[in-house]
Chains A and B, each alone.
Chain A
Amino acid sequence: MKKLSLQFLALFLAPMICYSQVDYDKIKKATDKVFIKNVIIHDKPGSTIEYGSILIEGGIIKEIGKKLNEPNDALILSADSLHVYPAFIDALSHSTIKKKEDGDRPKVKFPGAPPDDVAGITPGKSAFDDIDAESGDIKTMRELGFGISHIAPRGRMLPGQTAIVSLSGKTKNEILLKENVAIYSQLRTSPGVFPSTMIGVLTKFRELYKQAEEANNYLTKYAASPLGMQRPAYSEAVTSMIPITKKKQKVFFKAESAKDVHRVLALKKELGFDLVLTDVKQVYPVIDKIKSSNVPVMVSLDLPEKPEEEEEEEEEKEDDKKDKEDEEELTSEEMKKLKERKAKAYNDYVSQLAKLDEAGVTFGFSWIKAKPKKMLENMQTLIENGLSEDTAMKGLTKVPAQLLGISNIVGTAEKGKLGNLIISTAPIFEEDSKIKFMIVDGEVFEYEIKKKKKKSDTGEEIDIAGTYTYEIDQFGASGTFVITNDDDDYKLIMTSADDGNEMNAKNVIRDGNSLSFDLKVEEDGFSMDVSVGLDFEDEDFEGSVSTDFGAAPIEGSKVDPN
């Protein structure tokens, strides 16, 4: 019996034994589990879990909440007190899509009737075909906080079908999440052949749509009963448009300017397809129209440059020179008026999203034109000008998730959803916030944080000796400590406010204006080793306290010797 079962086992195991490769050039992951503890989790818009933990297993969020048991077989991320957000979702871009070379196109005898591919009319083509799995876009987008991209092929007016990809993975198949999600369309002409103008594009779109409706009609009847009916001879372009006529697929239509938004909305009104306005740059003149049309909008963060700040007293000489130069173009009064107009225009752009939000329009963000690298910077500008952080966050997560029909697996940090997370050093939209970790599909990517040099770090060492008060909010602890400097030998004595216990610091090391030391805290007969790192600036300091139970921020200030 034993022999049989062994043989059976061997048979069963044989294929595995025969075909599993031994490859020592690859590192097999130590563990599939990731545990993040003591983080501030912004799990969904309007909700925060203070100092909670997350367990990711098999790429899925297994557990999320406060006071989770730390597993002993998971990778523990040192992300104490950092901020966690659901990873961003790019509502539409050309990430990972190979750039086409606009080389010599085939000569066409009748430019008015070119083959569909020359004219850029390929609504049936899948983005999958053009994915470059080694594209640097994956890394770039991920570094900025994106976990998922909705991608469209490059091309002319109807480049093809979009796909959803995960920004981690090595092969096309690993990257691909979903294919043939929607149709991408843009008012981009085909130079030298029809449609060579924007009005040609619009008219061709209309025609294809109507032909698709007819084709659908015919094909349905033909499928039911082909007897006596001519064989259908519709082009691929036409048949690929059928799903949008039935509203089974959305149309992501790029419309940058307000004029283009009007045009595309008029087209939608006429034909009736499910439209998503994409990459809209100039929103402010069309807010009402968008609102009443009830069409989702993906906004472009391609903001204009901030106008120069004028009249700095110190630079008077340069100013005179500049003035003279300026005067050479227009009169100084004209220049003044022009500057006012430009400033107003700039203001219109940067406050437009706040207004869009006020009007109650749901919007997300797309990245066809705007450079994602400037995203956080631009987002800060918009927030300064009235955009609520919640709305910004929603636009980067929940809204695109819902739009793409994947809100059941991404968009928020919830149990069961994909392990797509951003871990940042401070609230994500804050100026100095940096992303320390990205988790995409459960895979962890760590980023080096270059410590920002403090002002006092210019070589000037401040005198840190003195008496300080301290506060550790998380532990509800506070008190005072005294630093003494005896010929570069630093000593620190900490006194807890609760019980007046004095603790002597060990291993006190000073580095520039930073101080690190260890303490043994004894409370109620309970003893704990604590290590502390402090950064001093003028009269204040801030830093963190690490214990076995996690880290916590500490801050305080010097006490006036009087």
Chain B
Amino acid sequence: MKNIFLIFISLLIFSGISGQQSGDILIKNGTVITITDGIKENTDVLIRNGKIDQIGENLSAGDIETIDAEGLFVMPGIIDAHSHIALDVVNEATNPVTAEVFVGDGLDPYDVGIYRALAGGVTISHAMHGSANAIGGQCETIKHRYGEVDPEAIRMDGAPRTIKFALGENPMRVHGERQGIVPATRMGMEQIFRNAFEEGKAYANAQKAFAAGKADFPPLYNTRNEVMADILKGDIIIHCHSYRADEIYMLLKVLEDYGVKKICFQHVNEGFKVAPELAAYGAHASVFSDWWAYKFEVYYSTAYNAAILTENGVVTSINSDSGELIRHLYHEAAKTQRYGSLTDNEALKLITLNPAIQLGIDDRVGSIEKGKEGDIAIFKNHPLSIYAIPQMTIVDGIVRFDIDEDNNDMRLDVDPDESIPTFYESETHSHHGEGDRCMQDVFEFLNHKH
């Protein structure tokens, strides 16, 4: 017994010395918005070892970090299902199908955008490949453990694999229009998907044949086909950038043909036009709060999209796809009460439990429940009010943003050769401005005439 005790103590000490990634914290007396179990006034939340241990009144926990949340709102950490922060690379735009690349290879834990997201209550984001390709690269769900400089340390270990698909103008513009290769039309897009799935299928069959002894050698290792085969197996959730109702409908049919069920449409501006179909298929939708008209394919969309989808039974979330919007997703979610009449809980679900479901991590995060991870956002004023001000954001029981401890320059490292931090003028029109990174790297790629 004594030995076990000693080992336990030394483990505790050891975890304290090396980059500690989970902590103990007691949040007292807040208005706790659980999402799954209503609102609890004057309630404490106790987090131990990074997990929510207890929710109740007048909890005591001995000598651990305690936060006085009296008069404040305590909600689950916000989850952004479509983001490009913390990435050094967003688009490998050289081919309409690049399932083989993985944005997780290019994580940038130094990105101050992570801190700014934390300052908006966001604890998890889905770092995605861009929308230059019909089938883009695999994505990574990250936890905003700002302060860690090892890229491995911000991965959300165990989160399901995801991959980016893209419908709409972007892939056709990059490949068909600018490179002269298929796809140039929505008809071509369908064939790209079918072709990629068929190749994955053939590859998987060849592997099976080898395993069954029917072939001397396995098919030559091909990363892309490995990934396509994994999608067919159901191991990877597809997140598909999409706009027009007809292309959304097309993909549903293609996926149905190949037995792929795990699909979440992203942006899906015209999703409301096929809401019944989406609901029937069990497809999810992650939408903008109010972006529209910047491209022709979103000219006929509506800010009521999220409300319509929710009312029609589609699991819907609101995302940012922008380093700017991610900072106030709580405000974006609140817009569904202006453009629609979602209740408070329905609106908050759009940025907590629903994106967790879409990323396959709803068993771990997305609500304040015992056993879930200690990801919390604390607000002054109700999060859905325009006057909400995030006070503190906690990831795995460790405070990663504290409005009182902000040093203005929160960059993790500084280039000693940099004379003055660079000033960036904003672009005259928003969305396409400093926030939008869905087409990053494409400009450089397309302008390399060879």
Chains A and B touch (C-beta atoms under 8 A apart)? yes
Stretch with Cβ within 8 A of B (4 or more), from A22-30, A170-178, A196-204, A445-453? A196-204
Distance between Cα atoms of A296 and B207 in the complex (Å) = 38
With A110-B181, A203-B100, A341-B414 already in contact, the answer to whether A191 and B151 are too (CB < 8 A) is: no
The answer to whether A289 touches B150 (Cβ under 8 A) is yes
Q: Is the interface of B mostly helix, strand, loop or mixed?
A: loop
A 203-224 binary contact with B (CB < 8 Å = 1; else 0): 1001100110110011000000
A6 within 8 A of B: no
Point out the residues of chain B lying under 8 angstroms from A345, CB to CB. Answer: 413-416
Further 18 A-B residue pairs, CB within 8 A, beyond A196-B92, A199-B103, A342-B415: A107-B450, A110-B181, A192-B445, A194-B95, A194-B98, A195-B101, A196-B94, A196-B448, A197-B91, A258-B149, A259-B88, A259-B109, A259-B110, A259-B151, A289-B150, A307-B416, A334-B409, A338-B409
The answer to whether A259 touches B416 (Cβ under 8 A) is no
Give the residue of A198, A214, A344 whose beta carbon is less than 8 angstroms from that of B218. Answer: A214
The answer to whether B179 touches A199 (Cβ under 8 A) is no
The answer to whether B89 touches A191 (Cβ under 8 A) is no
Give the residue of A113, A211, A342 whose beta carbon is less than 8 angstroms from that of B418. Answer: A342
- How many chain A residues have a CB neighbour from B under 8 Å? 54
The answer to whether B88 touches A207 (Cβ under 8 A) is no
The answer to whether A342 touches B414 (Cβ under 8 A) is yes
Closest 6 CB pairs of A and B: A112-B95, A192-B448, A105-B450, A304-B416, A191-B448, A194-B94
B108 within 8 A of A: yes
B222 within 8 A of A: yes
B221 within 8 A of A: yes
Shortest CB-to-CB span from B407 to chain A, Å, is 8
A322 within 8 A of B: no
A337 within 8 A of B: yes
A346 within 8 A of B: yes
**Which A residues from 253 to 267 make CB contacts under 8 A with B?**
258-259, 262-263, 266
Point out the residues of chain B lying under 8 angstroms from A110, CB to CB. Answer: 95, 181
A465 within 8 A of B: no
B417 within 8 A of A: yes
The answer to whether B450 touches A113 (Cβ under 8 A) is no
The answer to whether B92 touches A191 (Cβ under 8 A) is no
Give the residue of A200, A207, A214 whose beta carbon is less than 8 angstroms from that of B94. Answer: A200
A226 within 8 A of B: no
Point out the residues of chain B lying under 8 angstroms from A217, CB to CB. Answer: 217
- Interface pairs (14), CB distance under 8 Å: A104-B450, A192-B94, A193-B94, A196-B92, A206-B223, A259-B108, A266-B151, A304-B415, A304-B417, A305-B416, A329-B423, A338-B421, A345-B414, A345-B415
Point out the residues of chain B lying under 8 angstroms from A11, CB to CB. Answer: none
B412 (CB) vs chain A CBs: closest residue = A285
Give the residue of B100, B105, B416 whose beta carbon is less than 8 angstroms from that of A263. Answer: B105
B 104-147 binary contact with A (CB < 8 Å = 1; else 0): 01101110000000000000000000000000010000000000
B444 within 8 A of A: yes
A108 within 8 A of B: yes
Pair count A-B, CB < 8 A? 139
The answer to whether A218 touches B217 (Cβ under 8 A) is yes
Shortest CB-to-CB span from B417 to chain A, Å, is 5
The answer to whether B216 touches A266 (Cβ under 8 A) is no
B102 within 8 A of A: yes
The answer to whether A207 touches B100 (Cβ under 8 A) is yes
Q: Is the interface of A mostly helix, strand, loop or mixed?
A: helix
Shortest CB-to-CB span from B173 to chain A, Å, is 15
Point out the residues of chain B lying under 8 angstroms from A262, CB to CB. Answer: 150-152
Shortest CB-to-CB span from A188 to chain B, Å, is 13
B441 within 8 A of A: yes
Shortest CB-to-CB span from B366 to chain A, Å, is 28
A 308-347 binary contact with B (CB < 8 Å = 1; else 0): 0000000000000000000001100010011001111110
Point out the residues of chain A lying under 8 angstroms from B416, CB to CB. Answer: 304-305, 307, 342-343, 345-346, 349
The answer to whether A106 touches B450 (Cβ under 8 A) is yes
The answer to whether B98 touches A112 (Cβ under 8 A) is yes
Point out the residues of chain A lying under 8 angstroms from B413, CB to CB. Answer: 285, 345
A282 (CB) vs chain B CBs: closest residue = B413
B99 (CB) vs chain A CBs: closest residue = A203
A243 within 8 A of B: no
Distance between Cα atoms of A262 and B413 in the complex (Å) = 16
Distance between Cα atoms of A197 and B92 in the complex (Å) = 6
A169 within 8 A of B: no
Shortest CB-to-CB span from A211 to chain B, Å, is 5
B280 within 8 A of A: no
Distance between Cα atoms of A338 and B417 in the complex (Å) = 12
The answer to whether A199 touches B106 (Cβ under 8 A) is yes
Point out the residues of chain A lying under 8 angstroms from B98, CB to CB. Answer: 112, 194, 200
Distance between Cα atoms of A238 and B417 in the complex (Å) = 41
A288 (CB) vs chain B CBs: closest residue = B18
Shortest CB-to-CB span from B230 to chain A, Å, is 15
B449 within 8 A of A: yes
A4 within 8 A of B: no
Interface centre among A199, A259, A262 (most CB of B within 10 A): A199
Shortest CB-to-CB span from B268 to chain A, Å, is 26
Distance between Cα atoms of A207 and B415 in the complex (Å) = 34
The answer to whether B93 touches A199 (Cβ under 8 A) is no
B106 (CB) vs chain A CBs: closest residue = A199
A45 within 8 A of B: no
Shortest CB-to-CB span from A156 to chain B, Å, is 13
Interface centre among A200, A214, A304, A307 (most CB of B within 10 A): A200
With A112-B96, A203-B223, A262-B152 already in contact, the answer to whether A198 and B106 are too (CB < 8 A) is: yes
Distance between Cα atoms of A330 and B108 in the complex (Å) = 27
The answer to whether A305 touches B417 (Cβ under 8 A) is yes
Distance between Cα atoms of A160 and B424 in the complex (Å) = 40
Shortest CB-to-CB span from B226 to chain A, Å, is 9
B408 within 8 A of A: yes
**Which B residues from 323 to 338 make CB contacts under 8 A with A?**
none
B137 (CB) vs chain A CBs: closest residue = A199
A289 (CB) vs chain B CBs: closest residue = B150
Distance between Cα atoms of A193 and B217 in the complex (Å) = 31
A466 within 8 A of B: no
Point out the residues of chain B lying under 8 angstroms from A213, CB to CB. Answer: 221
A229 within 8 A of B: yes
B 201-238 binary contact with A (CB < 8 Å = 1; else 0): 00000000000000011101111000000000000000
Point out the residues of chain B lying under 8 angstroms from A192, CB to CB. Answer: 94, 445, 448-450
With A197-B92, A200-B101, A342-B416 already in contact, the answer to whether A214 and B221 are too (CB < 8 A) is: yes
Distance between Cα atoms of A345 and B414 in the complex (Å) = 6
Point out the residues of chain A lying under 8 angstroms from B13, CB to CB. Answer: none
The answer to whether B417 touches A197 (Cβ under 8 A) is no
Give the residue of B151, B179, B222 whose beta carbon is less than 8 angstroms from that of A207. Answer: B222
A192 (CB) vs chain B CBs: closest residue = B448
Distance between Cα atoms of A330 and B149 in the complex (Å) = 27
Give the residue of A108, A193, A285, A337 whose beta carbon is less than 8 angstroms from that of B409. Answer: A337
B1 within 8 A of A: no
Point out the residues of chain B lying under 8 angstroms from A454, CB to CB. Answer: none
A111 within 8 A of B: yes
A211 (CB) vs chain B CBs: closest residue = B221
B420 within 8 A of A: yes
B 416-433 binary contact with A (CB < 8 Å = 1; else 0): 111011010000000000
The answer to whether B448 touches A207 (Cβ under 8 A) is no
With A263-B105, A266-B152, A346-B416 already in contact, the answer to whether A199 and B92 are too (CB < 8 A) is: yes
Distance between Cα atoms of A108 and B408 in the complex (Å) = 48
Give the residue of A195, A196, A334 whose beta carbon is less than 8 angstroms from that of B408. Answer: A334
**Which B residues from 167 to 201 make CB contacts under 8 A with A?**
179, 181
B100 (CB) vs chain A CBs: closest residue = A203
The answer to whether B221 touches A199 (Cβ under 8 A) is no
Point out the residues of chain A lying under 8 angstroms from B149, CB to CB. Answer: 258, 285
Point out the residues of chain B lying under 8 angstroms from A199, CB to CB. Answer: 89, 92, 101-103, 105-106, 137
